[in-house]
Chains A and B, each alone.
Chain A
Amino acid sequence: MGRKKNFWPYLLVAPALLTVLTVVFIPVVNAISMSFQSYDLRRPSRIGFIGLRNYSEVLSDPLFWQAVWKTVLWVGIGVGFQFLFGFVLALLLNRKFFGRGIVRSISLIPWVTPGVLIGLMWRWIYDGSYGVLNDILFRLGIIRDFVPFLARGETAFPAVILTIIWQGIPFFALMILAGLQGIPEELYDAADVDGANGVQKLFRITIPSLKNVIFVTTLLRIIWVSNSVDVIFNLTEGGPAYATQTLSVYVFNKGNSLNLGYAATMSILLALMLSSVAIVYLRRIFRSQEGAR
């Protein structure tokens, strides 16, 4: 019986493990080995081991550092505002009002919309000749002439960030809203007795109670947003003049232009940066699991 018990769980996990190993482990090893090779499919005769040359080239590539900086801004501002607006939306949706169920459902639609479609929808909204954003701003008297938002470096980057904020609000709202249901009502009643005001209740009860949810969702979101290619690619393809090229978009563009060694090197550097985020996440999870036992 004891033996049987030992072998069953492994058998059950095996198919999942096998699939994931084939599709993740082997590619990761491949990517690492590619990063030490000159691997440009446009020059197949020159494919071969070149040691750390890709790394030194990447690290002295100004476009790489620009992409790193863009990624930091993209993630920092993007996820920051997603969280802020998502939190506010969750608090608003937590109030009782007529039609709350429907409002909750429809406000989450951006989260289930394909990234491509998001990119394309917003590209049409930002359009310089027929775009509705231009029309609204024009009618309000904020602009005198239509602005080609995505064709100008200084407006293109804020525009793609606004789009990713729009996409991420529902996810945060969804998670925080669910978290709010778990806060015991008595805590607020006790605070009322003590004469606490709304702001005090928010900072002393609501936010501390949601600490776990906020932490995990923010980290997950950081990872997703830094990996996301589809929204930017379909809005601007990284342009104009690399103004919206984050690191993952840069890797994607290099991969498309078949310089695989270079792209692999950058993707490994991106993975290393993200794993510092992932380590924080995992340590936290294990601590909470130990605590639960």
Chain B
Amino acid sequence: MRTTPSGAVKSLASYLLLAAMLIFLLFPFYWTFVTSVKPESELYGKTVTYWPKQATLESYRRLFSDYNFIRPMTNSLIVAASTTLVSLTVSLLAAYAFSRFQFKGRKFLMTLFLTNNMFPTVLLLIPLYAIMRKLGILYTPFALILAYTTFTIPFSIWLLNGYLADLPPSLEEAAMVDGANRAQAFTRIVLPVLMPCIVATGAYVFMTSWNEYTFAVMFTNEANRTIPVSLKNLIGQLGVEWGMLTAGGIVTIIPVCFMFFFAQKRLIEGLTAGAVKG
């Protein structure tokens, strides 16, 4: 970059633009946080305050004691962790097959997985409800785990296939020459090298299932409600409890943000590799 006077003006302008965009993107989170620490009187007061005069954790306390938010959190954790485990295992096997073998129907199967994500969720919602009821898993965590794998498996295969394609097959071939079989070569050579990518894919699956609402609202009841449904349920007949709701929101996104920050580099690589290579 040359620093001519016009260059300086230009970079000042671009910083201002960047600042404006960041304010737009982050202000809602700031506002959610501020709302969650305001006392009731200030929330619904005459004037809107941009920083609480008296910060309080009352909303958080009520969220966990009166509303028992721990329960939906546990449910979400169970569902998201199991979905992650199932999707990763199943997708890793499939992605390995796609990236290491040439076989009849490979292209067709890959297309099948790709198009799978294009069906409207709402199209699946209604028949799935009937199927889950018949299988007797409606209103159990299994219903959600099964439903979520529909969109997490194809996406994971897509991502993992991209990572595996970048990994030279000669790595495993060398191990196999040394007498290891394919499974050993996979667990001892491929898996450790691929681990960061697997973690990133897992983080993505976890976030997706942690955040999902449409299936969750249909396939759960009082006892196994996940966080998104519980948040929405804070809007009751008596109006909205904005203090508790925003506190719940903050509690919900903190783990997701942590995971995302750790996984983001690999995840971005994988996503774009998929987008460019198809």
Contact = CB atoms under 8 A, between A and B. Distances in A.
B51 interface: no
Nearest to B24: A166
A117 B122 contact: no
A261 B277 CA distance: 40
B126 A263 contact: yes
A9 B103 CA distance: 7
Interface stretch (A54-62, A149-157, A284-292): A284-292
Contact of A113 (B106, B116, B150, B211): B211
B84 to A, nearest CB: 14
A227 to B, nearest CB: 5
A286 B150 CA distance: 23
Nearest to A18: B90
Given A27-B127, A112-B253, A15 B228 contact: no
B252 A117 contact: yes
B247 to A, nearest CB: 12
A205 interface: no
Contacts of A115: 211, 213, 228
A219 to B, nearest CB: 10
Given A19-B90, A282-B111, A121 B275 contact: no
A27 B128 contact: yes
Tell me the dominant secondary structure on chain B's binding face: helix
B119 A271 contact: yes
Contacts of B141: none
Interface residues of A, number: 97
Interface residues of B, number: 97
Interface string B153-180: 1100100000000000000000000000
Contacts of B245: 120, 124
B93 A95 contact: no
A contact face: mostly helix, strand, loop, or mixed: helix
B96 A12 contact: yes
A109 B25 contact: yes
Contacts of A95: 11, 14
B17 A213 contact: no
B43 to A, nearest CB: 7
B249 A117 contact: yes
A27 to B, nearest CB: 4
A149 B149 CA distance: 37
Given A16-B93, A124-B31, A285-B278, A166 B25 contact: yes
B242 to A, nearest CB: 6
B21 interface: yes
Contact of A213 (B98, B103, B276): B276
Nearest to B146: A23
A271 B120 contact: yes
A130 B44 contact: yes
B127 A112 contact: no
A207 interface: no
Contacts of A16: 90-91, 93-94, 113, 153, 157
Contact of B93 (A15, A28, A223, A275): A15
B119 A178 contact: no
Interface string A206-236: 0000001100110010010011011001100
Contacts of A271: 118-120, 123
Contacts of B261: 105
Given A34-B126, A88-B17, A19 B272 contact: no
B25 A20 contact: no
8 contacts: A20-B149, A27-B126, A31-B124, A92-B17, A96-B1, A226-B120, A278-B118, A286-B278
Interface of B: 1, 11, 14-15, 17-18, 21-22, 24-26, 28-29, 31-32, 35, 43-44, 47-48, 50, 86, 89-91, 93-94, 96-98, 100-101, 103, 106-107, 109, 111-128, 130-131, 146-147, 149-150, 153-154, 157, 182, 207, 210-214, 218, 227-229, 231-232, 235, 240, 242, 245-246, 249, 252-253, 256-257, 260-261, 264, 268-269, 271-272, 275-278
Given A12-B93, A226-B120, 16 more contacts: A9-B103, A19-B86, A23-B147, A30-B131, A92-B17, A93-B18, A103-B22, A112-B211, A113-B253, A114-B211, A116-B232, A117-B252, A124-B31, A227-B121, A286-B278, A289-B277
